[in-house]
Amino acid sequence: MLNFIYYPVSAILWFWHKAFGYVLGPENGIAWALAVVFLVFTLRTLLIKPFVSQVRSMRKMQEFAPEIQKLKKKYGNDRQKMAVEMQKLQTQHGVNPIAGCLPIFVQIPVFIGLFQVLRSFNREFLTPEQNRQVGNYVFSPADVRSFLDADLFGAPLSGYLTQSEELLSRFGDVTRWDIALVAVPLMLLAGVLTYFTSRHSVARQTEAQTANPQAAIMNKVMLYLFPIGVVVGGPFFPLAILIYWLSNNAWTLGQQYVIYHRIDAEEQEKKQAAIAQRESSAPRPGQKPIRPKRGVTPPAGVSGEVDRSGSSNGGGTRPGEGNGTSDGSGNGAIPGMIPPRTRGKKSKKRR
């Protein structure tokens, strides 16, 4: 039914087992454990870009959070209208909430596929002899025997704490205590990493988000319920699944640290660039901005301030002198301006 998930997952696991088995040996338990770890790394590498898009979408949603609150106050009782307006607002700001959930949606089927592949190495409905002679998806019968004979510090990778005595007897002299010595530390470490990963995500939230009652409940679920769920559910999963959880949470914590700091540095650079641009365009201290008079168009090639007498102090012309052009006034007045009136000497009337 879900073979389109099982076969790709088993193919990636097969590839990494062949790579590490070539160096460490095909039946080496560390080679199989590293194959599971690098299966996680392969998947998470493909999901780096969607994760960055998710972080940027969350940042944008924090920027227009006040607008969302206005929409809730205005259309709080009309859910349909609220959904339409929210979609318009997200489109306006370039936010795609579905793309932000893509990393989670992809990891769920991969976890299911890995669980199915690992469980199929030791099938309960077959006898031990039959089980060792039947392949497992892309794995050959020889690969199945290699996995069943592999162990990590004395515990089989396909074993788990709640395993029945019949299945446990297939591993020979392995006891439940041997599995617990490896499984319990993996469970506790996976729970601790889950807690720190959730704590790092909650610490990135704004005060407005943490003040929301629904967000506060979700934060408590992430901080406490998820880590407890990893520890409580650990006894029901094979050791290889616990290795998957541990490596996945370790990758998530490191990825959050690197990408969050990089995006913070980018935003800080943008702020510094905006501040520098404002400072460069602002007038110097003590300098008055030059504002041309209304209706006055300075001639081409003339720069500088225009004094009250209508003469220009730019272009190498001193105030009060002509500029070498003949415009009928000879005093260097700007064309288009009415020359100032000059008082002539009153002629004496002859008596």
Band of pLDDT at residue 210, cut at 50, 70 and 90: low
What phi and psi values does residue 136 have, to the nearest 5 degrees? -135, 95
What would the two tokens of residue 174 be? 């392995």
CA–CA separation, 190 vs 237, rounded Å? Answer: 13
Q: What percentage of the chain has pLDDT greater than the value 90?
A: 24
Domain count, the chain: 1
144-195, pLDDT tens digit by residue? 999 988 889 989 988 889 988 888 888 888 889 999 999 999 999 999 998 9
Q: pLDDT category, 276, cuts 50, 70, 90? A: confident
DSSP run (H or E) holding 246: helix 239-281
- pLDDT band at residue 140, thresholds of 50, 70 and 90? very high
Tell me whether residue 131 is in a domain: yes
Tell me the pLDDT band of 308, cut-offs 50, 70 and 90: very low
Residue 64 forms part of a structural domain: yes
pLDDT at 101: 62
Question: Domain for residue 343, yes or no?
Answer: no
User: Residue 122 pLDDT > 50, yes or no?
Assistant: yes
Q: Please determine, for residue 206, whether its predicted confidence score (pLDDT) is greater than 50.
A: yes
Which pLDDT tens digit goes with each residue over 24-74?
998 899 999 999 999 999 988 988 888 887 777 777 766 666 777 777 777
List strand residue ranges (DSSP E) for the chain, in order: 151-152, 155-156
- Note whether 282 and 288 are within 8 A (CB): no
Residue 19 C-beta-side C-alpha neighbours within 13 Å? 13
Give the domain range for residue 129. Answer: 3-270
Q: Specify if 147 maps to a domain.
A: yes
Instruction: Tell me how far apart the alpha carbons of residues 198 and 253 are, in angstroms, rounded to a whole number.
Output: 9
Is the separation of the CB atoms in 102 and 50 below 8 Å? yes
Say if pTM beats, i.e. exceeds, 0.85.
no
Contact 161, 179 (CB under 8 A): yes
Task: Name residue, tokens 């089980």.
Answer: 131
149, part of any domain: yes
Q: Which residues pair with 296 in a beta bridge?
A: none
| Distance, C-alpha 25 to centroid of its chain | 38
337 lies in some domain: no
| Res 285 pLDDT > 70 | no
